[in-house]
């Protein structure tokens, strides 16, 4: 199918043409990639389709601004970002294969080629810009996006630039949607951050303000709910035909609207749709849904029991929890529920010290109240709610608060808590497994034995036993290949040595023959004692070459006669 224009564009147009020009057919990476066609351009770089000659496939090359390579800290940030994004392996995240560097062009990302168009282009082509899509189609498109975002959030990676132009629809020949891919995962924001060290002017040109959450405007730390907000803006735009807060160029007016105003409900939309949108677009990040999928479920009409809110206010006041309180091992003493609620709100505000105080107050009332120990554990680990404990970076079973919670919890709550630790261990095993598999795919000979030991140490997790054996076999193959290469190299060096010695011997023989001929010629003209003495030395210096020893002796016999004749002033004889 024909290639749409600017299908990978993710930035505003620059004021000037890029300083570096590229042409179709230009080879890159020592000829591995051959440029085909420019398919996008923005304030942060240009995008080309290219042929990967090594892999035999079509790819996308996204070029980073050329000047960035001159700033060491910016390059380090770019590489760190790529290493994180490269680890993302999800069916709805467009893979970024490599980060390459070209001396004259700087850095560029190599991404998977996708056949289709961005959601932005799809809307323009099918219903026209500013026109809404049916709810069923919106859910079909955004559910894979939500799955991809939740997966990335579990890896502690945020996209930060979700919008229709960063959602790619894979289409079949009949133009039906067969897959949805999230593109530019984290790249745009990281490049903008890096470019702030290069050019403040370029930094001001970039950005997608209409999709930015309040915490981004406040320059506060960003997390999964930040992406959820952008997903909410995207959903609102698809359903209404316009974004909740239009960007007409007045940045301050837009900032105040995002920070203070509530989005208008979409006319003729079901109540649950508007309620879900208002929750996802809440000013307070902690008042949004627990995950992006939860938002999509609510948008589709699912009842979200544990995160129901007063969506008209978008605040914590409407929260009806199914939290630790549902699993308590005894009825709560007077005052406990109020303190637990205040502790939960403090957790959501990331006020860990205040949350600790409230949960300690609960334990002063009832020292065996298990949910309070879990609350203390959340504050200790800086986790904003219990349901996120399963996403913590390391096992929690050895934590004192966890052990006390297990001790005093009833069977149902105990099973829930143990499930969190099991989820962590399963995730860590999966992460270790993924990391080892990737390491195995690019392992050198010296790495294979250690990888085999690490696979065996996973005690039969998935196919680690088979992978350990494959590492052993890979080691044997690589070792045999290395030894064969070394053998061939030794043979080559030996052949070169022998050839060199042969040439040197021939050269020595040639020079000896020349010297021999010169001495023989000089005997014809020798007339003085000094001449004969010098000839004897030269013959002896040739180390018995041919008849030089005989000639040296003969000259010694002739030397006295030469001396006598020279003394008598007669003609020298030979």
Residue 307 has pLDDT above 50, yes or no: no
Asked if 371 and 299 sit in the same domain, the reply is: no
- Check whether residue 236 and residue 128 sit in a common domain: yes
Same domain for 424 and 328: yes
Could you tell me if 457 and 563 lie in one domain? no
Yes or no: say if 318 and 310 are a contact pair by the CB < 8 Å rule: yes
**Cβ atoms of residues 479 and 485 within 8 Å:** no
**Strand intervals (E) in 441-563:** none
Residue 366 lies in a domain: yes
Q: In the numeric block, which tokens belong to residue 55?
A: 């892999």
Instruction: Give the chain's mean pLDDT.
Output: 82
Cα–Cα distance for residue pair 102/525, rounded to 1 Å: 71
Residues 406 and 426 in one domain: yes
Domain end call among 481, 498, 522: 522
Place of tokens 């939290």: 323
Residue 367 lies in a domain: yes
pLDDT at 217: 86
Instruction: Examine the domain organization and report whether 373 and 307 are in the same domain.
Output: no
Quickly state the pLDDT bin for 561 (edges 50, 70, 90). low
Q: Is residue 217 part of a domain?
A: yes
Lowest mean pLDDT among 317-321, 407-411, 519-523, 554-558: 317-321
Strand partners, 117: 169
Domain shared by 20 and 167, yes or no: no
Q: Does 187 map to a domain?
A: no
For residues 546 and 438, give the distance between their C-alpha atoms in angstroms, rounded to a whole number: 70
Cα distance between residue 305 and residue 384, in whole Å: 18
544 and 517 part of one domain: no
Residue 364, pLDDT > 90, answer yes
Is the domain of 533 the same as that of 480?
A: no
Q: How many CA atoms lie within 13 A of 218 on its CB side?
A: 13
Domain around 98: 1-114
Give pLDDT, residue 80: 83
Residue 198 lies in a domain: no
Task: Tell me the per-residue pLDDT of 186-221, one tens digit each, with 9 for 90 and over.
Answer: 665 555 555 544 444 333 333 488 999 998 887 777
Domain CATH code at residue 328: 1.25.40.10
Q: Are residues 293 and 146 in the same domain?
A: yes
Q: Is the pLDDT score of 24 beyond 70?
A: yes
Does the pLDDT value for residue 5 go beyond 50?
A: no
Distance CA 35, CA 22 (A): 8
């Amino acid at each position: 199918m024909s290639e749409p224009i600017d299908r990978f564009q993710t930035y505003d147009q620059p004021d000037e043409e890029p300083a570096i020009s590229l042409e179709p057919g230009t080879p890159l990476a020592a000829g591995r990639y051959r440029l085909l066609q420019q398919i996008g351009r923005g304030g942060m770089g240009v995008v080309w389709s290219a042929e990967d000659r090594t892999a035999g496939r079509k790819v996308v090359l996204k070029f980073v601004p050329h000047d960035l390579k001159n700033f060491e800290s910016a390059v380090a940030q770019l590489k760190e970002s790529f290493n994180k994004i490269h680890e993302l392996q999800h069916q709805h995240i467009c893979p970024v294969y490599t980060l390459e560097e070209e001396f004259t062009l700087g850095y560029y990302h190599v991404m998977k080629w996708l056949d289709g168009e961005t959601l932005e282009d799809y809307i323009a082509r099918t219903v026209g810009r500013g026109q809404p899509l049916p709810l069923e189609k919106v859910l079909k498109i955004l559910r894979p996006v939500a799955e991809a975002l939740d997966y990335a959030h579990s890896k502690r990676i945020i996209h930060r630039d979700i919008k229709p132009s960063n959602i790619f629809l894979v289409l079949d020949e009949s133009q039906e949607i067969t897959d949805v891919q999230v593109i530019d995962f984290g790249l745009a924001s990281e490049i903008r951050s890096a470019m702030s060290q290069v050019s403040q002017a370029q930094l001001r040109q970039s950005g997608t303000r209409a999709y930015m959450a309040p915490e981004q405007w406040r320059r506060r730390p960003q997390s999964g709910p930040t992406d959820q907000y952008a997903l909410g803006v995207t959903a609102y735009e698809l359903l209404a035909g316009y974004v909740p807060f239009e960007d007409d160029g007045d940045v301050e007016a837009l900032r105040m609207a995002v920070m203070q105003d509530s989005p208008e409900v979409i006319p003729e939309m079901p109540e649950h749709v508007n309620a879900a949108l208002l929750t996802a677009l809440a000013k307070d990040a902690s008042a949004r849904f627990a995950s992006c999928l939860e938002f999509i479920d609510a948008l589709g009409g699912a009842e979200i029991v544990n995160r129901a809110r007063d969506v008209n206010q978008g605040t914590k006041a409407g929260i009806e929890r199914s939290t630790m309180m549902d699993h308590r091992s005894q009825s709560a003493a007077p005052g406990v529920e109020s303190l637990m609620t205040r502790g939960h709100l403090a957790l959501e505000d990331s006020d860990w010290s205040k949350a600790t105080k409230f949960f300690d107050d609960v334990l002063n009332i009832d020292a065996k109240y298990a949910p309070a120990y879990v609350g203390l554990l959340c504050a200790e680990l800086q986790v904003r709610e219990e349901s996120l404990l399963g996403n913590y970076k390391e096992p929690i079973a050895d934590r004192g608060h966890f052990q006390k919670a297990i001790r005093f919890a009833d069977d149902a709550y105990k099973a829930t808590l143990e499930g969190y630790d099991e989820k962590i261990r399963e995730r860590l095993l999966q992460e270790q497994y993924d990391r080892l598999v990737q390491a195995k795919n690019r392992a050198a000979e010296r790495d294979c034995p250690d990888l085999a030991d690490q696979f065996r140490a996973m005690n039969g997790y998935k196919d680690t036993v088979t992978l350990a054996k494959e590492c052993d076999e890979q080691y044997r193959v690589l070792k045999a290949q290395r030894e064969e290469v070394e053998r061939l190299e030794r043979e080559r060096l030996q052949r070169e040595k022998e050839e060199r010695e042969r040439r040197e011997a021939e050269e020595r023989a040639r020079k000896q023959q020349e010297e021999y001929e010169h001495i023989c010629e000089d005997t014809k003209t020798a007339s003085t004692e000094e001449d004969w003495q010098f000839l004897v030395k030269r013959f002896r210096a040739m180390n018995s070459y041919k008849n030089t020893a005989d000639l040296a002796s003969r000259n010694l016999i002739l030397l006295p006669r030469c001396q006598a004749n020279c003394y008598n002033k007669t003609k020298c004889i030979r």
